[in-house]
Structure 1
Amino acid sequence: MNFLFLKLWLRKLKRNKIYSLANVLGLTLGFTAFILISLFVRFELSWDKSHRNYDRIYRVQRHMEKALYANNGNDISPHSRPATARFIEDKFPEFEKVSVIRENGSAFLFAEAEHPVFSDKGIYADSCFFDVFTYQFMAGNPKTAMAEPYSVVLSESMSKNLFGEMPAHGKTVLLDKKYPLKVAGVYRDQPYNSSVRPSYIISFSTLQPLKNISRDDVWTGDCMTYAMLKTGVSAEQAAAKIRDLFGEYENIRNEKLELCPLSKVYLNFNDRNDYLFVLRLFALIGLFILVMSGFNYINLSLAKASMLGKEVAVKKVIGSNRKSLIFHFLGETIAVSLFSLLVAFFIADLLLPVFANVVDKQLDLNLRKDWLFIVGTIWIAVLTGIFSGLYPALFLASHKITALFKGSFFNKKRESFSLKKVLITFQFAISLFLIVLTLSFAMQIKYVTGKDLGFEKEGLLYAKLNVSENEVMFDQLKDRILQHPEIKEVSMSRNLPFVSFGGGMTNWEGNDPEEKITCRFNQISYDYLSVLKAKIIAGRNFSPDFPGDQGKACIINESAAKCFGWDDPIGKRISDNRLTIVGVVSNFVYQDMHNPIDPAVLLLAPNTISGEWILAFRVNEQHQVKAREILTASLGETFPNDPFEIRDVPTAFNSENAFQIYHSVNKTLYFFTFLNILLAIVGMFGLVSFSVSRRTKEIGIRKINGSSPLRIFNLLNSEYFLLIVYSLVIAFPSAWFVYNQIPSANKLPAQPWVFALGAVVLVLIVLVSTSYLTIKAATKNPVEALRYE
């Protein structure tokens, strides 16, 4: 019986090629999109799950309780003070292990003097680090690796970059050409979806001789603390106990500590839900496309039902009951659904590298590792087959034999065609929703990309330096560099837009000293604003004519003036009245184009280059290559023991995380909107093919009675264009609402012409899908039409 069923099913597929192809291709596209989006969403929700104690690990964060006017959630700082770990260990037995780490930023490691390896992923970590986090060591002992100063453990990739295939354990590397570090171990690279994914880890005790920072330091605030709770301990109760950990310190008693679970560190550490919105949007798109493929299947099954009336009637005559007929039809639809899923897995595997590149994630599909995901997808395919075939099965199996032989049940439009119209309307609405959303997001990307940054990024180069000896006078270095016409201007600063940002808090004159705002602090040379081409809109810039500015004066930006509530800030004081405001600079973007522009406070830098600084260069854009060569030679001569690399700000701008997410979302929307349009075309083509075949005799009679091909074309297409109007009512408000929910401080308002263009695109999709078949039917010889039976 099963073999006979399979034989009959295959014969039907072969006999109705267009119907079969439309069904299989439609479901395959739907399942392919669903698989790819599911893999992406699953990947993003699985961050840090490679750690054994994932559900017990928390990051200790600071909540700036008295921080006023906090933009983009920056009253929550992921950074903490080194002493946080020791205080928690000493006072609260609820915590099993507490580890403190500090990011090292950009640095060069040397195994050989002539072959530096650059990395911006290094960290310092204490001896508890490997008790909290799970790392697989290839060499060395994780229990003792971080015990001694000047010890380092390397990732497998870093080890290969430095030593090739030679064993690294026990050897020595140089940090920034200055500090010898003994390799105490090598660990396997952490998965891409890990919040703490260093390329090398230096023992925390090394910070004491290098930067005078110890694990007992209360006043340094740029570390991170990760705590692991004991089994069964309530996170809420533990968080309540550590909240006022620094209450006895007057200057920092308003910093309240919070516990952020490891599951939220990547996705939503400050409870803003911005990226979670993106993931929900992707999940919604995947569901929409799957639903749309199911609607296609139902519509095509309903259309096919018009050709199956006599077959069902004969089966009833020879004894088939209602139940067996329903199971027969459901068996067919489930078989098609499962076959489509099989093809979809094959296509998804082919497309996965392309899609992973689009979303910039390391996605994979492994039959052995992902068997739960595959089983779940199979169940979804079975349910899709059941829901897609249930109505047509019930519809045919419930009619009387005489009605099935006559085909009279198809005249009752309210039974079949009302459902068909509802499903097609929702298909059109889904297509239009995705088209409008994609076009709107593309316009948003264009808007953000072209928005005035408040400074000119083109032609701006920079080099990050860590000068520990042989102090150099900045003005002397600048004069030497400016002798070359390829370099127009030179500046020195602690931070640079899209490169590094700085941070801190300050109070202001006339307000409660306890209440502060978070802002971007920066030390700059006289030429900094000139190099950026930022504008002073009130007061003055720093100048050698005012030598007393050092340590006593500051320049603020428009955002700071607004937060302080001052229309005329010149002469006002901030930071416990220590700094007098001498100028206001127009707002320029410091960190990203997604968040509002933070308040900024600029201080005058000393003339001596010592420690960590960024040198910025405004160069002739037509001679950038030559300028890089000049700068590399000049800085190499001046700082022979300090490695550096000449980079450009436009690349830093394009590499910024929020900007990359914008582009990733945009490319993903394009990708799935294309699949959706293809799905709509396939579904419409299959549906129209059956509509035309069922009305062949009607078309012939109309042509004999004088109907023109254009009139017949309009007759066959008119119902679809009416359904487009209905879909506009559903899709336009939905797309407008979702687009307005997309988080961004620099948001392009929804553009009416984008909605109009989306409607035009939908009409074109319908025309492309239906024109070939309807024109062919309208121009066919009516004699052939009347003889087709």
Structure 2
Amino acid sequence: MFRTIIKISVRNLLKHKVYLLVNVFGLALGFTAFILIGLFIQFELSWDKTNEHYDRLYRVQRHYSKTRYAMDGNDISPHSRAITAQLLENQFPEFEKVTVIRENGGKFLSAVADRQIYVDGGICADSCYLDVFTYQFIDGTRNGALGEPFSILLSKTLADKLFPGERAMGRTVTIEKKFDLKVVGVYEDLPENTTIRPDYIVSFSTLAHTDRITRRDIRTGDCMTFALLKPGVEYKSAESKIKSVFAGYRGVEFEELQLCPMKKVYLDFNGNGHYYVVLVLYGLIGVFILIMSAFNYINLNTANAATRGKEVAVKKVSGSSRGTLIVQFLGETMLISLLALGLAFLLVVVFLPVFADISGRQLEFIWATDWEFAALSVLISLSVGILSGIYPALILSSNKIVSLFKGDLYSHHHEKFNLKKILVTTQFAISVFLISITISFSLQIRFLLSKDLGFNKENMIYTKMSVSKSGTSFSQLRDRILQHPEIFDASMSKHIPFVSFGGGMTNWEGGDQEEKISCRFNTVSYDFVRNMGIFLIAGRDFSRDFPGDIGNACLINESAAKCFDWDDPIGKRLKDNRLSVVGVVSDFIYKDMHNGIEPSILILASEEITGTWTFAFRVDPNKYQQAKAILEHEFSLAFPNDPFEFNELLMAFENENTFQIYRAINRTILFFTLFNIFLAIIGLLGLVSFTVFRRTKEIGVRKINGSSSLNIFCMLSYEYFILAFYAMVIAIPASWWVYEWIPSAYKLHIQAWVFALGGGILMIIILLTTSYQTILAATRNPVEALRYE
């Protein structure tokens, strides 16, 4: 019987080739979008799973207790003190291994003196690191690899750059033209979805010789500590024990430790859940598009079933049971659904590189590793087939033979339940929702690009570099550079906005001695405020007329003054009374475009140029290349032993993580909105074609009785415009709520005209899609219409 049913199903499908093509292609697009988004979400939820001990691996974070903060979430820091690993492994048997690492930031590495390679991602790690994290070695072994000072491990990519065509093992790499490191191993590049993904790893013991930092150092707070719990240990229990490990250490007694599971380090390390919102939005889009294509299929299948009444009547007369008819219809719909899924897998191969580029992720679909996802897709496909066929199958199989021959299949169901209207309205609502969200995100990106940052990012060139003793003061270097008319101003600082940022705790005059505030500290030269275009709103700037400012005076921003509850900050003192406030600057965005503005404290630097500094220069925009060449020449003379590279501050701003996320979201939603619009067009074309086909005689009669072509057109299109209105009533509040739900400190609230535009685009789509078929039917000769059978 099943063989016969399949054979009949294939014959029916081949008989209606256009119906088959529309359904298969429409469903395939929906499945393709669903699979692509599913792969993206699966990728985002799989971070760090390549580590062998993923389920027992935790990052040790700092939680600042008894402290005020400018914004929520900043009481948790992913960084910890260098001594943390040693304290945990010595005092708590719950931990199997504890490792400490320190990020190196951008450094220049070289194998030969005249070829410097800038590497952005390197770390220093202790000897336990390779016991905690999983690495695959190409050359060398992990045993004892990071035990000796001045040892370095290289990723395969970096090893090939430094030693093209040669073996790196045992060779020497020079970092920043200052220290020689011996290559003790080469490891496979880590996958993109790895939180700690260094290009090279230097032994932590090297820091004792280069930066005077050891594992016993309590002063250094910019390290990261990762702990491997013993099997069977409950992490909340271990966390409660280590919480107050710093209670007996003066100056850090209010720092509490907590454990963040490795599965949350990337997604939600501080518990605010912001990135989960993004993943939920992606999931909604995937489900909506799948629903869109499924509803198209259900509508077209239901409409097509109305033309098969006589076929079913003949089968009933010939003795076919109701069960056989239901199986027949479900078999056809499930077969179409599986064909669509097969085509979708092919389309995924085509679209995956495009989507990966849009989303900024290295996505791939491999049957051998993604078989569970593929099996889920097959299950969903079969479910869609069953749902799309069950309603017309039940109606057709339950109707009387006389009714089937008359063709009034759905007549007695019309008033109680019109499935088509509900499904079409839902499709239109999804279209308006996605169009509105896409436009809103585009406006948000424009808003962020044009937002007043509180400083001037234009025409600024900077370099961040490690300076050995040069014998040159910054004032001397600055005066020499400003002799060139291409360069307008210059400053030196530890940090500049969107490039790097410092942090620390401070108490303040008038506050509780046990209460501190987390601030962004920055050590700057005299001309930093003017050069960056930051506004002074009270007091004075640092001045060479006040040599006592160095190390003693500070500037604060408006947010800091509010946090300290100071109405008149000038003359107030900070940091155990060591710093005196001489001026207040306007708030400026320091770190990113997602979080709010934090309290900021600027401290005046000495003239000596030693250590890591960021040099920033305001240049003539019409002479950018000349200014860059001048700066490179002057720096080569001033710092012959220190590598450097000049970059534009504007590029750092545009590459900021929030922008990348917003752009990726916007491009992705636009990509799938186009999918959705195409599906809407396909669905409407199919529905209108069936409507015209079923009402051909009615159209002919109306024309004979005097109806104009315009009346016929309006009659056929009116229903869809009414459904579009209902859809907007649903979609507008939904899109408004979802967009407002997305977190950001700097967000343009959704504009009313966006909804009007979304609705207008839907109306245009309906008009253009229905016009051809309805106009053709309205202008057709009524004689042809009456004899079309």
TM-score of the aligned structures, taking structure 1 as reference length: 0.99
Deviation at 1:730, TM superposition (A): 1.1
- Deviations along 1:339-380, whole A, 9 cap, x unmatched? 111111111111111110101000001122211211111111
Q: Which residue in the other structure is 2:238 paired with? A: 238
Verify: 1:64 aligned to 2:64, yes or no: yes
Tell whether the 8 Å contact from 2:466 to 2:642 is kept in structure 1 after alignment. yes
Matches within 5 A, 1:101-250: 101-250=101-250
Verify: 1:619 aligned to 2:619, yes or no: yes
Verify: 1:350 aligned to 2:353, yes or no: no
- Deviations along 1:515-570, whole A, 9 cap, x unmatched? 11111100111111111111101111101011111111100011111111222211
Q: Which residue in the other structure is 1:609 paired with? A: 609
Verify: 1:524 aligned to 2:524, yes or no: yes
Verify: 1:644 aligned to 2:644, yes or no: yes
Matches within 5 A, 1:381-400: 381-400=381-400
Q: Which residue in the other structure is 1:273 paired with? A: 273
What amino acid maps onto 1:512 in structure 2?
A: D
What amino acid maps onto 2:483 in structure 1?
A: Q
CA distance in 1, matches of 2:251, 2:464: 32
CA distance in 2, matches of 1:415, 1:676: 30
Q: Which residue in the other structure is 1:305 paired with? A: 305
Q: Secondary structure at the match of 1:105?
A: coil
Tell whether the 8 Å contact from 2:337 to 2:382 is kept in structure 1 after alignment. yes
Stretch deviating more after TM superposition (69-78 or 710-719): 69-78
Q: Which residue in the other structure is 1:401 paired with? A: 401
Deviation at 1:6, TM superposition (A): 4.5
CA distance in 2, matches of 1:265, 1:70: 23
What amino acid maps onto 1:216 in structure 2?
A: R
CA distance in 2, matches of 1:342, 1:416: 37
Q: Secondary structure at the match of 1:567?
A: coil
CA distance in 1, matches of 2:762, 2:402: 41
Tell whether the 8 Å contact from 1:539 to 1:584 is kept in structure 2 after alignment. yes
Q: Secondary structure at the match of 1:603?
A: strand
Deviation at 1:9, TM superposition (A): 3.3
Tell whether the 8 Å contact from 1:489 to 1:531 is kept in structure 2 after alignment. yes
Q: Which residue in the other structure is 1:674 paired with? A: 674
CA distance in 1, matches of 2:350, 2:766: 29
What amino acid maps onto 1:228 in structure 2?
A: L
Verify: 1:418 aligned to 2:421, yes or no: no
Deviation at 1:63, TM superposition (A): 0.2
Tell whether the 8 Å contact from 1:529 to 1:535 is kept in structure 2 after alignment. yes
Stretch deviating more after TM superposition (74-83 or 12-21): 12-21
- Deviations along 1:53-84, whole A, 9 cap, x unmatched? 00100000000012212425111000001111
Verify: 1:453 aligned to 2:457, yes or no: no
Matches within 5 A, 1:756-775: 756-775=756-775
CA distance in 1, matches of 2:83, 2:657: 30
CA distance in 1, matches of 2:5, 2:414: 32
Q: Where does the alignment leave 5 or more consecutive residues of structure 2 unmatched? A: none
- Deviations along 1:614-633, whole A, 9 cap, x unmatched? 00000011111111111111
CA distance in 1, matches of 2:705, 2:143: 93
Verify: 1:480 aligned to 2:463, yes or no: no
Tell whether the 8 Å contact from 1:155 to 1:200 is kept in structure 2 after alignment. yes
CA distance in 1, matches of 2:54, 2:385: 38
Q: Secondary structure at the match of 1:9?
A: helix
CA distance in 1, matches of 2:325, 2:578: 87
Q: Where does the alignment leave 5 or more consecutive residues of structure 1 unmatched? A: none
Q: Which residue in the other structure is 1:732 paired with? A: 732
What amino acid maps onto 1:317 in structure 2?
A: V
Stretch deviating more after TM superposition (620-629 or 10-19): 10-19
What amino acid maps onto 1:743 in structure 2?
A: P
Among all aligned residue pairs of Structure 1 and Structure 2, give the percentage whose two residues are the same amino acid.
57
Q: Which residue in the other structure is 1:570 paired with? A: 570
Q: Secondary structure at the match of 2:270?
A: coil
Tell whether the 8 Å contact from 2:268 to 2:274 is kept in structure 1 after alignment. yes
CA distance in 2, matches of 1:253, 1:81: 13
Matches within 5 A, 1:313-332: 313-332=313-332
Q: Secondary structure at the match of 1:534?
A: coil
- Deviations along 1:177-216, whole A, 9 cap, x unmatched? 1100000100000110000000000000000010000001
Tell whether the 8 Å contact from 1:410 to 1:416 is kept in structure 2 after alignment. no
Matches within 5 A, 1:78-93: 78-93=78-93
Q: Which residue in the other structure is 1:715 paired with? A: 715
Q: Which residue in the other structure is 1:76 paired with? A: 76
Q: Secondary structure at the match of 1:609?
A: coil
CA distance in 1, matches of 2:51, 2:591: 31
TM-score of the aligned structures, taking structure 2 as reference length: 0.99
- Deviations along 1:591-623, whole A, 9 cap, x unmatched? 111110111000001101000000000001111
CA distance in 1, matches of 2:237, 2:748: 43
Q: Which residue in the other structure is 2:783 paired with? A: 783
Q: Which residue in the other structure is 1:549 paired with? A: 549
Q: Secondary structure at the match of 1:36?
A: helix
Q: Secondary structure at the match of 2:783?
A: helix
CA distance in 1, matches of 2:775, 2:148: 82
Q: Secondary structure at the match of 1:252?
A: coil
Deviation at 1:28, TM superposition (A): 0.9
- Deviations along 1:622-652, whole A, 9 cap, x unmatched? 1111111111111011111111101111111
CA distance in 2, matches of 1:652, 1:43: 27
What amino acid maps onto 1:173 in structure 2?
A: V
Q: Which residue in the other structure is 1:510 paired with? A: 510
Tell whether the 8 Å contact from 1:72 to 1:596 is kept in structure 2 after alignment. no
CA distance in 2, matches of 1:471, 1:363: 51
CA distance in 2, matches of 1:450, 1:66: 38
What amino acid maps onto 1:759 in structure 2?
A: G
Stretch deviating more after TM superposition (316-325 or 127-136): 316-325
Q: Secondary structure at the match of 2:399?
A: coil
CA distance in 2, matches of 1:461, 1:416: 70
What amino acid maps onto 2:262 in structure 1?
A: L
Aligned pair in 2 of structure 1 residues 584, 555: CA closer, same or farther (>3 Å)? same
Q: Secondary structure at the match of 1:683?
A: helix
Deviation at 1:692, TM superposition (A): 0.6
CA distance in 1, matches of 2:617, 2:517: 31
What amino acid maps onto 1:306 in structure 2?
A: A
Tell whether the 8 Å contact from 1:493 to 1:522 is kept in structure 2 after alignment. yes
- Deviations along 1:222-264, whole A, 9 cap, x unmatched? 0000000000100000000000011101311110000000000
Tell whether the 8 Å contact from 2:523 to 2:602 is kept in structure 1 after alignment. yes
CA distance in 2, matches of 1:13, 1:768: 28
CA distance in 2, matches of 1:520, 1:402: 82
Q: Which residue in the other structure is 1:361 paired with? A: 361
Instruction: Count residues with an aligned counterpart.
Output: 789
Q: Which residue in the other structure is 1:579 paired with? A: 579
Deviation at 1:19, TM superposition (A): 2.1
CA distance in 2, matches of 1:398, 1:122: 71
Tell whether the 8 Å contact from 1:445 to 1:662 is kept in structure 2 after alignment. yes
Tell whether the 8 Å contact from 1:558 to 1:586 is kept in structure 2 after alignment. yes
Tell whether the 8 Å contact from 1:154 to 1:183 is kept in structure 2 after alignment. yes
Q: Secondary structure at the match of 1:461?
A: strand
What amino acid maps onto 2:564 in structure 1?
A: F
CA distance in 2, matches of 1:31, 1:523: 55
What amino acid maps onto 2:369 in structure 1?
A: K
CA distance in 2, matches of 1:235, 1:740: 35
What amino acid maps onto 1:46 in structure 2?
A: S
CA distance in 1, matches of 2:168, 2:409: 80
CA distance in 1, matches of 2:654, 2:709: 55
